[in-house]
Amino acid sequence: MKAKNVVIIGAGPAGLTAAIYTARANLQPVVLEGEPSSTSDQPGGQLMLTTDVENYPGFPNGIMGPELMASCRDQAIRFGSTMKTEKASRVDLTSRPYKIWVGDPTSTTPTIDTHTVIIATGARSLMLNLERENDFLGRGLSTCATCDGFFFRNQHIAVIGGGDSAMEEALFLTRFASKVTVIHRRNRLRASKIMQERAFSNSSIDFLWDSVVEEYLGESTLSGLQVRNLVKDELSTLDVSGCFIAIGHLPNTSLFIDQLEMKPNGYLITEEGSTKTAVEGVFACGDVQDDKYRQAVTAAGSGCMAAIDAERYLEALEH
Ligand code: NAP
């Protein structure tokens, strides 16, 4: 089997941007875009779960997340990327060429050999896993205040979680919302002291302690939450038109355990200012290595960096 120049694992903004760049550099990239296993697990990454995207440059009137991803995919194909609607099931990064399996991970024969790998497998927001959660995503339910806060001007919004992310989202949302209610399952926050103080001193934020959301209410868009107070064991309804889930993120890095360096929270480690991992010829871009910015445009930017890093690495190999 002739080794490929580049295999890109993942097809969100980072993976597809890496595909566009490596395809235009004539490297004939192969993109393992994943395969749909549920509505919340589809090729295209987290933007497939959003409706309007208004902060991606170039679209003054906004664009739907799935439409943006479909356009990026078409653009990658136009320059010669091969898209495979399959998931990598195993990788071997211990010797070159690197080996990637699709399908049965126990097979003795890898599916693809490749000189470089660009990892763009992204991250996913932890969810409450309640009924109709996927239906409401982008219709009142969100996992990103920076992306969607703007849509909730002068409305009452709930934020779920008690960590730094929840406090950050709640504080950000007070710029738009008439009121923000933080719903936390305990009576003490996990967030750092400084974030707690900021949230407590903001008069637009109130707290529902010892409380969990049990049901999303509404027809096609969210109109409220059914909340249980765990101490009193009482149910109540909170009338909100927006709900932001901020209970943490998980990077999709299980394929790389024991092969690539990770931070304690599971995100891949890349060399500062580049997309290089500690394994030569293996690059990581997008949310899988970014626990800080997590934006489509920053993911796309790092996808471009990974493509250029891979191209230069291949050039150096040839010489
Ligand atoms: P986190 O610290 O793990 O907090 C998650 C919060 O969600 C916790 O309060 C947890 O409750 C709650 N939670 C988890 N699962 C839940 C569930 N199923 N139902 C209801 N509540 C649930 O996550 P994070 O806030 O995303 O922060 C991750 C890391 O990034 C942290 O180290 C944090 O300091 C850092 N960070 C820093 C900043 C900043 O400094 N500006 C901003 C964002 C994130 P319990 O408390 O009961 O466990």
pLDDT tens digit sequence for 94-138: 999 999 999 999 999 999 999 999 999 999 989 999 999 999 999
Q: Which protein residue's CA is at the shortest distance from atom 35 of ligand 1?
A: 164
Indicate whether 84 pLDDT > 90.
yes
Burial class (CB in 10 A: 0-12, 13-18, 19+), 239: exposed
Q: Which pair of tokens denotes residue 288?
A: 């899988």
3-state secondary structure of 251: strand
Q: Which protein residue's CA is at the shortest distance from atom 37 of ligand 1?
A: 164
Q: Which of 271, 277, 297 is nearest to 286 (CA)?
A: 297
> CA 68 to CA 17: how far, in whole Å?
12
Cα-to-centroid distance, 86 and ligand 1 (Å)? 32
Give the model's pLDDT for residue 182: 98
Give the model's pLDDT for residue 53: 83
Cα-to-centroid distance, 249 and ligand 1 (Å)? 9
Cis status of the peptide bond prior to 97, with omega within 30 of 0? yes
DSSP-assigned letter for residue 130: -
> CA 225 to CA 252: how far, in whole Å?
29
Q: Which residues are catalytic?
A: 144, 147-148
Task: Kindly report the number of other CB atoms within 10 A of residue 295's CB atom.
Answer: 18
How many degrees, rounded to 5, is the angle at CA 45 between CA 44 and CA 47?
90
Give the model's pLDDT for residue 41: 62
DSSP-assigned letter for residue 165: H
Which residue of 185, 193, 228, 293 sits with most ligand 1 atoms within 8 Å of its CB, as the best mutation to test the pocket? 185
Indicate whether 203 pLDDT > 90.
yes
Cα-to-centroid distance, 20 and ligand 1 (Å)? 35
| Nearest atom in ligand 1 to 164's CA | 25
Name 101's bridge partners. 90
Pocket of ligand 1, beta carbon within 6 A: 128, 160-166, 168, 185-186, 190, 192, 212, 247-248
Confidence of residue 72 (pLDDT cuts 50, 70, 90): very high
Cα-to-centroid distance, 186 and ligand 1 (Å)? 12
Task: Kindly report the number of other CB atoms within 10 A of residue 211's CB atom.
Answer: 25
Which residue of 130, 164, 243 sits with most ligand 1 atoms within 8 Å of its CB, as the best mutation to test the pocket? 164
Q: Which protein residue's CA is at the shortest distance from atom 3 of ligand 1?
A: 248
Look-up of token digits 């002739």: 2
Indicate whether 47 pLDDT > 90.
no
3-state secondary structure of 55: coil
Cα-to-centroid distance, 110 and ligand 1 (Å)? 38
Look-up of token digits 């896993």: 129
The pLDDT of 178-203, averaged and rounded, is 97
Give the model's pLDDT for residue 222: 98
> CA 109 to CA 87: how far, in whole Å?
16
Tell me, rounded to whole angstroms, the distance of Cα 277 from its chain centroid. 19
Stated pTM of the model: 0.83
Q: How many CA atoms lie within 13 A of 314 on its CB side?
A: 24
| Nearest atom in ligand 1 to 212's CA | 20
Percent of residues in the chain assigned helix, strand, coil, to nearest 5: 30, 25, 45
> CA 139 to CA 137: how far, in whole Å?
5
| Nearest atom in ligand 1 to 128's CA | 18
H or E element in which residue 243 lies: strand 242-245
Give the model's pLDDT for residue 70: 96
Cα-to-centroid distance, 116 and ligand 1 (Å)? 35
Q: Which protein residue's CA is at the shortest distance from atom 7 of ligand 1?
A: 247
| Nearest atom in ligand 1 to 186's CA | 47
Q: Which protein residue's CA is at the shortest distance from atom 32 of ligand 1?
A: 164
Q: Which of 104, 25, 14 is nearest to 6 (CA)?
A: 25
162 residue type, one letter: G
> CA 120 to CA 149: how far, in whole Å?
26
